[in-house]
Amino acid sequence: MPLPDVLDYPIVAIGDLHGRRDELRRLVAALERRPEWADCAVVFLGDYVDRGPDSRGTIDLVLELLRRPPGGSAVMGNHDLALIRSARLDGGPPSPYWPSRYQALYDGGPTFESYLGRPPRPGDVGFRDDLDAFRAAIPDEHRAFLAGLRWVVEAPGHLFLHCGLSPELEAGPAEQVAALRARRWDRATLRPREGSITALLWEDEYPAWLGADRTLSDRPLPYPGKVQVTGHDRVPEPSADAVRIRLDTSGGFGEPTACLLTAPDAPPVFIAAR
């Protein structure tokens, strides 16, 4: 399913899901009670997998929602990137960075169980073998969806991305969005500021916008004329200001939140599964 880079209003943005198909079902039921829902494109803000018990069912439901008129799109989160590169769902070369990090930090056991029927085996060799088994078990449609996730989706007054634009790059906001569109993360283009955390901890396989700098959800570089809509860093309740809207109220442990946007300058309407 090709995912568009640009959407028009009305739009419903949905925060991080983390394998919680049950909570997404409840949220959709609340959305279906809204009169605007039938006309809304939907955009998901990343982190479809890990922690929760049903990553496979969550992606099935996400795809079902994206197929409904008027469609929608989806951006990549750090959990999605970690799984994609660890299991090479994008057809890329083996990653020297992601498998050990994914195994240690990303609560991927439930994702493996949802596709393989069992958790991954402990130890480096067993885990790497199970990544191959995972890749073979994942349906082609799911693999294509995950590998094709956008790094940014745009609307006339909003940018939808997992974490946020970075003030620690010499590249300005327009340059950063151009790189996001191209799914490009390299020092020569983005020019991390000397002495910054981004420069010190630079990793070629882990873009700051997708989660390497968690603080960007709270302090993104402003983009003139557009509000950033982000997930990634869990918050007790959704919030909005002139620079960004934060939506990750779940983190895989609670209820996801949706945000209805009816126009470039319209205030967000937050919707919870109640």
Domain spans in the chain, listed from the N-terminal domain onward: 11-79+146-272
Using alpha carbons, select from 11, 81, 18, 76 the residue that is nearest to residue 256: 18
Whole-number Cα distances in Å, 33 to 26, 28, 30, 64, 76: 11, 9, 5, 18, 28
Task: Measure the CA angle with vertex 175, ends 173 and 180; round to 5°.
Answer: 90
d(CA 225, CA 156): 9
Looking at residue 221, the DSSP 8-state letter turns out to be P
Topology annotation, domain 11-79+146-272: Purple Acid Phosphatase; chain A, domain 2 (3.60.21)
pLDDT for position 1? 76
Q: Letter for the amino acid at 179? A: A
HSE, side-chain direction, 13 A CA sphere, residue 94:
7
d(CA 165, CA 156): 17
| Strand 72-74, strand 257-261: pairing | unpaired
Which H/E stretch holds residue 158?
Answer: strand 158-160
pLDDT for position 200? 87
Virtual CA dihedral for 128, 130, 136, 142, nearest 10 degrees? -90
End-to-end CA distance of the chain: 31
Task: Please report, in tens digits, the pLDDT of each residue of the chain (274 residues total).
Answer: 789 999 999 999 999 999 999 999 999 999 999 999 999 999 999 999 999 999 999 999 999 999 999 999 999 999 999 999 999 999 999 999 999 999 999 999 999 999 999 989 888 788 988 999 999 999 999 999 999 999 999 999 999 999 999 999 999 999 999 999 999 999 999 999 999 989 988 999 999 999 988 888 889 999 999 999 999 989 999 999 999 999 999 888 888 999 999 999 999 999 998 7
pLDDT for position 254? 83
Task: Measure the CA angle with vertex 93, ends 87 and 95; round to 5°.
Answer: 60
